[in-house]
Structures are given as C-alpha cells and as structure tokens.
C-alpha cells in the first residue's frame, strides 16, 4: 500500500492539514459488529461516527504524557522504552485511540499486539474475555503502561486473591520471616538505646572525675600558696633575728680595761 505514490505526497498532505481537520472516525461497537455503516433504528439509516481532529488527538497525547510521566519531575522515556499492550477495541474506543496509537507515536513507544498460541480456540485470543490469555500476555509483554477498563482490573484483583488463597503456606512462612524481622529490628533498637545510655553515663562519669580533679587541684593550689606565704613570713622573722642578735651581743659585752 502506497508504494506507487511519490515521496512528496505525504509532505503535501501534511502541509494541507489545518485546525479541526478530521484525522480519524470512531464508530460505535454496534456498527463494527454488524459490519455495516447502517444502524437499525437510525433516522438517516447511516451509522454515526465520531470525527477526531489532528489537533484534538495531538493535545490528548501531550496531556497523557504529562499525566503518566510528569516531565517536570521525571525524565522522558527514550525511544522504544515505553511498552504498551493493545487489547482494547480501537475501532470504537476513543481512549484506546489516544493511548495505544497516538500516545505511543508521540513518544516513539513500543505497541504490542498479543497473538497467543496458534493452537488456542480463538486466534488471536480476546484478552477482554479470556483471563488466562490476558495474564499470559502481561507476563510476556511486561508493559510499562497498562490502560484498561475497570472490568479488567477486577479480573486482576480476583486472580491475585486466588493466588493468595492457594499459597497460604507461603504466606505463613512469609509471616514468620516478617515477625522474625520485626523482633530482630526491635532487639537492635533496644541494644542501640542501651549503648547510647551507657555512653551517656560514661561521659557523665568522666565529667564528674574531671570536675573533682579540678576542685582538688584548686584546693591544693590554695594550700601551696598558704605554705609559701608562711615560709616567706618565717624567712622574714629569721632575718630579723639575725640582724638584731649581733647588735645585742656587741652592746652587752664588757668594756676591756685601759
């Protein structure tokens, strides 16, 4: 398709696109199920489709990027990094159009279509109704963005409940490990608090010893000063006695005869 068209044909079409030009038409599910654009009960006899413009879909894809990735806070996905699983009916879902097609195009993402096993009853399987095929597709594709209806999330919820009920023993073992981890953590906290208390007590004891030594040194300094002062006073007395005593001896000695 399109091999016979010149390369400039696409550029010409892009240049002629203006605001509110139609990009795609989405019909209702009853129209696609009947395989005709005619719907019973319609006054005009023709099926009613929704025309989506280029600027409408471009704006929606940009808003989806801001909602899913928050470019101001997270880095943008590199080409091929964003993986999406397409299983919603694109022909009658505007949301599937916006997410699967235009959002993946705007970020150069990877859009996957699950075919399943060729030996299955329905090929490709209907992931909306076949829960086992849905979980197989999720396990194989591992999408980074999963857009679905509430009914699909209900199936995931019930599947997880069933898996949990089948693994009660595993839950019991996990609970034992979880309880053991809690006990170990509490014990570690108690030991840490005790170590902190011992450390504080040791610091307080060292501080008391230091204050006691300082006080003793202060008292010893006072005693030393008192002894030095007393010794100084004693030296003064001894010096006075030494000076006065010879004078007294000279004065009291008898006069020699002439």
Residue bearing the bigger pLDDT, 115 or 31: 115
Grouping H, G, I as helix, E, B as strand and the rest as coil, residue 149 is coil
Q: What is the mean pLDDT of the chain?
A: 75
> What integer is the mean pLDDT of 42-46?
53
Q: Which of 37-51, 168-182, 243-257 has the highest mean pLDDT?
A: 168-182
Q: Is the pLDDT of residue 80 over 70?
A: yes
Count of helix runs (H) and strand runs (E) in the chain: 8, 4
The dihedral of CA 129, 135, 138, 140: what is its sign?
negative
CA 89 to CA 3: how far, in whole Å?
29
Q: Is the pLDDT of residue 164 over 80?
A: no
Q: Which band of pLDDT confidence, cut at 50, 70 and 90, is reported for residue 239?
A: low
Q: How many CA atoms lie within 13 A of 94 on its CB side?
A: 11
CA 102 to CA 147: how far, in whole Å?
14
DSSP annotation of 27: E
pLDDT computed for residue 95 by the predictor: 82
For residue 52, give the H/E element and its range. strand 49-53
Q: Which band of pLDDT confidence, cut at 50, 70 and 90, is reported for residue 121?
A: low
> Which CATH architecture fits 11-166?
3-Layer(aba) Sandwich (3.40)
Q: What is the pLDDT of residues 147-157, one digit of tens each?
A: 888 888 888 88
What percent of the chain stands above pLDDT 90? 2
DSSP annotation of 122: S
> What integer is the mean pLDDT of 75-92?
82
* Residues 102 and 61: beta-carbon distance below 8 Å: yes
Q: How many CA atoms lie within 13 A of 80 on its CB side?
A: 0
Q: Is the pLDDT of residue 78 over 80?
A: yes
């Amino acid at each position: 398709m399109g091999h016979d068209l010149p390369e400039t044909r696409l550029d010409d079409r892009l240049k002629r696109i203006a605001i509110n030009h139609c990009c795609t038409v989405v019909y209702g599910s009853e129209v696609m199920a009947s395989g005709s654009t005619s719907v019973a009960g319609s006054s005009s006899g023709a099926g009613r489709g929704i025309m989506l413009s280029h600027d409408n879909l471009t704006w929606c894809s940009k808003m989806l990027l801001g909602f899913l990735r928050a470019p101001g806070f997270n880095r943008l996905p590199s080409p091929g990094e964003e993986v999406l699983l397409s299983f919603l009916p694109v022909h009658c879902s505007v949301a599937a159009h916006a997410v699967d097609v235009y959002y993946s195009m705007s970020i150069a993402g990877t859009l996957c279509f699950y075919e399943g096993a060729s030996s299955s009853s329905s090929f490709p399987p209907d992931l909306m109704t076949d829960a086992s095929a849905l979980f197989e597709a999720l396990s194989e594709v591992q999408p980074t963005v999963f857009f679905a209806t509430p009914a699909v999330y209900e199936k995931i919820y019930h599947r997880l409940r069933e898996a949990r009920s089948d693994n009660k023993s595993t839950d019991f073992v996990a609970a034992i490990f979880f309880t053991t981890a809690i006990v170990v953590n509490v014990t570690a906290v108690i030991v840490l608090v005790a170590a902190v208390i011992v450390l504080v007590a040791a610091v307080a004891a060292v501080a008391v010893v230091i204050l006691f030594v300082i006080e003793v040194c202060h008292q010893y300094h006072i005693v030393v000063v008192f002894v030095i002062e007393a010794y100084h006073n004693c030296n003064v007395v001894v010096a006075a006695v030494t000076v006065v005593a010879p004078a007294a001896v000279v004065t009291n000695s008898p006069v020699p005869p002439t």
